[in-house]
Amino acid sequence: MRSLSPLLILLSTPTVHSWGELGHRTVGYLAEKYLTTDATAMVTELLVNDKGYDISDAALWADSVKRRTGYTHTRVWHYIDAEDDPPTQCGIKYNRDCKPKKGCIVSAIVNMTSRISSPKLDSTQHKEALMFLIHFLGDIHQPLHTEALDRGGNDIHACFDSHCSKKENLHSIWDTQILHKSRGLPASESDDKVLKDAAQTWATELFEASSLRVWNWDTVAECKDLKKAEDCALKWAGESNKLVCGYVLERGVEWIEQNDLGGEYFEGAVPVVDEMVSKAGLRLGTWLNEIAGARRRVGLLREQERMEM
Ligand code: ADE
Ligand code: ZN
Ligand code: ZN
């Protein structure tokens, strides 16, 4: 039996709980701007269909299936629970923090990277591996996806712009609220068209600003060797985790719980989020370019492209 089309899966999706929809869509659109011809062809071949499914839709798929029968084992792939001690002590230890057998975001990135260019797998498996990868490269840049404390902040109740209901927590504020406010969207915005437009605009701004940024872009993009996927994913996770101590939980859990995060805390979070979404987009683009090269080498190219060579 054919699996359900991704679009249908998306249409039945409850709200997402990783970088929210805006963050993931922006990472997708930003990565797209860095793609080579081969990588663009790979994304088009595996993901884009006649229903207008694009890279930003693909970026949401992993969240839409994680509670679905047959996919619940993938839930732990969205994060790595560093058992460190923020805000005084941060750090990831792979053997300690990545669950044996079950895995984590680091091992998932390693696995999906090799699956996309494995000639032993079929095109549906390649497609799912690509969609997982596009999503996980986003999640790994959300600092709280690299932290065990209170389930990555999910159990830290917090207020944002006087919204203090049960559903506000530190994790969701970093997945969604900070991004929406920063981009001028209402907290409750969920219309796909509005979020896609906002993501396109944000991706364009980040792309244009990237050459002016203070961080070193060569260093950001230096992970190119697919054989070193584990080192790369650990490096990315380590950078995110450092921000847990460096900003996200810097003031301590008590302060977070007692103050509205929509003010000065939000202002300080905006450059952090811009930096992490920029890095995620550039790294995803770079990584997909390498994967497209690997697929070409093992002969996983469409007939048509092979004939054009
Ligand atoms: N569940 C447990 N830990 C988590 C984390 N760090 N991020 C998201 N969900 C989680
Ligand atoms: Zn996720
Ligand atoms: Zn999340």
Compute mean pLDDT per 10 residues along the chain, 309 residues long, and list them. Answer: 45 57 98 96 85 90 96 98 98 96 97 96 95 98 98 97 92 98 94 96 93 71 91 97 98 98 98 96 96 93 55
> Which residue has its alpha carbon closest to ligand 1 atom 5?
152
Residue to mutate (ligand 1; options 144, 176, 241, 249; most atoms within 8 A of CB): 144
User: Does the residue 1 lie in any domain?
Assistant: no
Atom of ligand 1 nearest to the CA of 81: 6
> Which residue has its alpha carbon closest to ligand 1 atom 2?
151
pLDDT value of position 241: 98
d(CA 174, CA 261): 10
CA of 296 relative to ligand 1 center, distance in Å: 36
Q: Give the tens place of pLDDT for each residue, 108-144.
A: 999 999 999 999 999 999 999 999 999 999 999 999 9
Ion ligand 2 residue ranges (Cβ < 5 Å): 18, 63, 78, 139
CA of 148 relative to ligand 1 center, distance in Å: 7
Cis amide bond preceding 87, omega within 30: yes
Which amino acid type is present at position 79?
Y
For residue 77, the ligand closest to its alpha carbon is 2
SS3 per-residue string spanning 86-140: CCCECCCCHHHHCECCCECHHHHHHHHHHHHCCCCCCHHHHHHHHHHHHHHHHHC
Q: In the structure encoding, which two tokens stand for residue 259, read together?
A: 């103050």
d(CA 253, CA 37): 47
For residue 172, the ligand closest to its alpha carbon is 3
pLDDT value of position 199: 98
User: Is the Cα dihedral 249, 229, 125, 128 positive or negative?
Assistant: positive
Residue to mutate (ligand 1; options 80, 81, 175; most atoms within 8 A of CB): 81
DSSP letter string, 251-303? T-HHHHHHSBTTTHHHHHHHHHHHHHHHHHHHHHHHHHHHHHHHHHHTT-S-H
User: Does the residue 123 lie in any domain?
Assistant: yes
Which amino acid type is present at position 69?
T
For the Cβ of 151 lying below 6 angstroms from any atom of ligand 1, the answer is yes
Q: How many domains does the chain have?
A: 1
Backbone angles phi, psi at 83, to 5 degrees: -90, 60
Q: Which of 41, 111, 27 is nearest to 74 (CA)?
A: 111
User: Does the residue 183 lie in any domain?
Assistant: yes
User: Is the Cα dihedral 20, 22, 23, 26 positive or negative?
Assistant: positive
Q: In the structure encoding, which two tokens stand for residue 134, read together?
A: 């596009």
pTM of the predicted structure, to 2 decimals: 0.92
User: Does the residue 17 lie in any domain?
Assistant: yes
Q: Are 229 and 114 in contact (CB under 8 A)?
A: yes
Atom of ligand 1 nearest to the CA of 146: 6
Quick one: DSSP state of residue 48? -
Domain that holds residue 140: 6-308
Instruction: Please give the span between the terminal C-alpha atoms of the chain, in angstroms, as a whole number.
Output: 35
Tell how many helices (H) and how many strands (E) occur in the chain: 17, 0
Q: Give the tens place of pLDDT for each residue, 245-261.
A: 999 999 999 999 999 99
Q: What is the CATH number of the domain that holds 89?
A: 1.10.575.10
For residue 97, the ligand closest to its alpha carbon is 1
d(CA 33, CA 284): 10
pLDDT value of position 215: 66
CB atoms within 10 A of CB 198: 21
